Amino acid sequence: MTEKTDFGFQQIPLQDKTHKVGEVFSSVAEKYDLMNDLMSLGIHRWWKQRAITSGGFRAGYKVLDLAGGSGDLTARISPLVGEQGQVYLADINADMLRIGRNRLLDQGLYRNVQIIRVNAESLPFIENYFDRVIIGFGLRNVTDKPAALAAIYRVLKPGGKILVLEFSKPAIKGLDKIYDLYSFNVIPKLGEWICHDKASYQYLVESIRVHPDQEQLKLLMEQSGCEDVIYHNLAGGIVALHMGFKY
């Protein structure tokens, strides 16, 4: 029997997910950042800044921005680690990396940035290499999340920190109903109007619902080896920032 996995609310053959997710992001790459602003009313910028502030990025650090796509986190981290540090903007999707590369070049942020196409489940780095690994709104698209978390833990230095910024489960009573109403009725229509692609944004809202919630993700991180895992709910739990350490 063919092993299945989720693709939004669908169940598809496991081996097909990476390709199908790739089609989604190739389709929306050109308008990805605009759609993020429209869908979140710009609040995604604050969520990302909260992750950066919590990361404790310092001059000289080596940082992996995994599933970094259009490079907005890399653009914030690059000045913090300085010319002695290095940021690897890594993503599996070539179209998203092209957008990220152009953004960073336009901003003059290239001296300490490396751009690399990788699969999060099998990172091509030596053990104990990075001071920080951050993955923003990308983990839910990974086929094998435990494998990706284990790979992140492997490449993290002792004393290093992993930060996972991801959509999660509303923690305020009644917010889930409002959030569902907005997500399923507004976001796909925005995708249709702006990107001419309703299906990709239907996948987006469905992928959030099948992603592990706050406690489930905390457990997955602990099972990968991370210690002292904590999370902070943002926007009432619509988004959560998880953090863990390697000692």
Instruction: Report pLDDT digits (tens) over 59-91.
Output: 999 999 999 989 999 999 999 999 999 999 999
Look at residue 17 and tell me if it is in a domain: no
pLDDT of 4 over the 80 cut? yes
Look at residue 6 and tell me if it is in a domain: no
Strand-pairing partners, residue 239, are 167, 234
Range of the domain at 44: 23-245
Look at residue 222 and tell me if it is in a domain: yes
Question: Closest Cα partner for 4 from 13, 69, 87?
Answer: 13
Say what the pLDDT of residue 110 is: 81
pTM of the predicted structure, to 2 decimals: 0.95
Look at residue 155 and tell me if it is in a domain: yes
CB of 238 within 8 A of CB of 167? yes
Look at residue 171 and tell me if it is in a domain: yes
User: Domain total for the chain?
Assistant: 1
Distance CA 160, CA 171 (A): 29
Alpha helices in the chain (DSSP H): 17-28, 32-40, 43-55, 72-81, 94-106, 145-155, 175-185, 187-195, 198-210, 214-223
Q: What is the CATH number of the domain that holds 187?
A: 3.40.50.150
Question: What percent of the chain has a predicted confidence (pLDDT) above 90?
Answer: 93
What backbone torsions phi and psi does residue 10 show, to the nearest 5 degrees? Answer: -80, 155
Write out the H or E segment, with its range, that includes residue 62. Answer: strand 62-66
Strands ordered across the beta sheet of 156-167: 113-117, 86-91, 62-66, 130-136, 156-167, 239-245, 227-234
Question: Closest Cα partner for 242 from 190, 228, 71?
Answer: 228
Question: pLDDT class for 227, splitting at 50, 70, 90?
Answer: very high
Helix, strand, coil distribution of the chain in percent, nearest 5: 50, 25, 25
Look at residue 123 and tell me if it is in a domain: yes
**pLDDT, tens digit (0-9, with 9 covering 90-100), for 127-167:** 999 999 999 999 999 999 999 999 999 999 999 999 999 99
Residue 112 neighbours by CB under 8 Å, 6+ apart: 78, 81, 82, 83, 84, 85, 86, 87
Say what the pLDDT of residue 1 is: 65
Say what the pLDDT of residue 124 is: 96
Write out the H or E segment, with its range, that includes residue 65. Answer: strand 62-66
Look at residue 215 and tell me if it is in a domain: yes
Alpha helices in 156-235 (DSSP H): 175-185, 187-195, 198-210, 214-223
**pLDDT, tens digit (0-9, with 9 covering 90-100), for 85-118:** 999 999 999 999 999 999 999 988 888 999 999 9
Look at residue 11 and tell me if it is in a domain: no
**188 three-class SS:** helix
